[in-house]
Structure formats: structure tokens, C-alpha cells
Structure 1
Amino acid sequence: MEINVLIEQLETISLKYAHEFGIERTPDWFLLKLTEELGELMQSYLKFVGQARAHDRGSMALRRNLEDELADVIGMALLIAKNQNIDIEKAIARKWLQYLPGEKK
């Protein structure tokens, strides 16, 4: 899946969500929403690794919830990039991929 196609799909869903619930998607909202999702990811992770009560949920359900919360965090991070006109592919290449063997540092 192309990352820019994914970002546009996420944008469509986010706009629909905001419209349905009367949310103004300000720059602050995007970051606050990411923070909320990070908290949910942490909660899911702690349950998954046995550091918090899992309320008798099975390991597969805990794993699925962890995956879903990670998807929320990544989705919101990509939406922040779009909202701030950041070319995330270029930013990742500059920040991370430069450390691959044969790349300039």
C-alpha cells in the first residue's frame, strides 16, 4: 500500500468522524488525539504483557487490541503529517533511512 494513498484514506475517515461528532480538527486536536491514542496503546500493552488487569480477555483478544491501538497511533501520526504539510516519506528517509548501509549520513 502506498503511504500517500493510505494517508488520503485516513483523511477521509477522519473528516467523516469529525463531521459526525461535531469536532473541529485544529492542529492542537490532532496532537491531543495522538496523545489519547498513545495512552490507549500503553494500556493495551500493559494488559498484553500481564502488567495490568486484562478482565479475563484471552491472549488473542489482547493481541488484537494491541494491534488496533498501534494502528490508531500510526494513523493519527500520519494525519498530523498531512495536517502540517509534512512529506512523511521524505522525513522518514532523512531521519531513519540514512542509517542503512550504503546511505549517506
Structure 2
Amino acid sequence: MTDKSLSEIEDGVAAVSDIYARRFEIERDSGWYLAKLTEELGELTAADLKCAGKGRPNGKSAENLKRALADEAADLFAHLLLFCRDREIDLQEAVRDKWLSYLSAAEQAD
């Protein structure tokens, strides 16, 4: 698989989400995007607890638990992209402005 830009990933995630919504006749509104983001965070938390030995592994191997954790992280990331798309937030720009600006400030202080 070739590396994709964040906008290409976002477009792919949106296309998959559109297919899913059509297939299951889901009406997505602004509340849906936030609810899904919250749901996926809960699922990531549960998967992480299982990996840390603080949740029931349900007979899954350590490798399967790690794969489930990665899958839930991907779900959360995808739903964050969908949430930002719905809210017209440019996530790359927001991260650059909020987080990466500290790098220049730290470099200037050194």
C-alpha cells in the first residue's frame, strides 16, 4: 500500500462511511458524528484495558488483542476525520496551529 495524504485518507473514510450509511439506512446528522466518536473511544478504552490485563480477554490471544486495539484506534481516527469533515474543520491545519506551533516557539527559546 502506498502512503496517502491525510486528505486522501479522509476521502476514503468518507466513501466507506457513505456505503455503510446507505447499506444500513443510517441517517447521519451532526449528533451522529459525535455519538460515533464517543462510541469508538469507549471501544478503544475496552480494547486497551484487555491488552493491559485489566479486562476480560474472552479467550483471545495477546496478538488478537493487539490487533483489536489497532482496529479500534483506526475506528476512532476514522470517526474523528468524519466528525471534522462534518464540522468543516481542517484537521491538518488545526494540528499545525495548535500543536506544531509549539515546536517553533521551543526552537526559538533554545
Name the TM tier (shorter chain).
Answer: over 0.9
C-alpha separation in 1, matches of 2:73 and 2:8 = 19
C-alpha separation in 2, matches of 1:57 and 1:6 = 30
**TM-score normalised by structure 2 residue count:** 0.90
**TM-score normalised by structure 1 residue count:** 0.94
After TM superposition, give the deviation of residue 102 of structure 1 in Å.
Answer: 3.2
1:54 alignment partner in structure 2: 57
Percent of matched pairs sharing the same residue: 38
How many residue pairs get matched? Answer: 103
Partner amino acid, structure 2, of 1:48:
C
4+ runs deviating over 2 angstroms? none
C-alpha separation in 2, matches of 1:34 and 1:78 = 10
Partner amino acid, structure 1, of 2:67:
R
Q: Is residue 15 of structure 1 aligned with residue 18 of structure 2?
A: yes
Q: Is residue 26 of structure 1 aligned with residue 21 of structure 2?
A: no
1:82 alignment partner in structure 2: 85
* Structure 1, unpaired ranges of 5+: none
Partner amino acid, structure 2, of 1:60:
E
* Structure 2, unpaired ranges of 5+: none
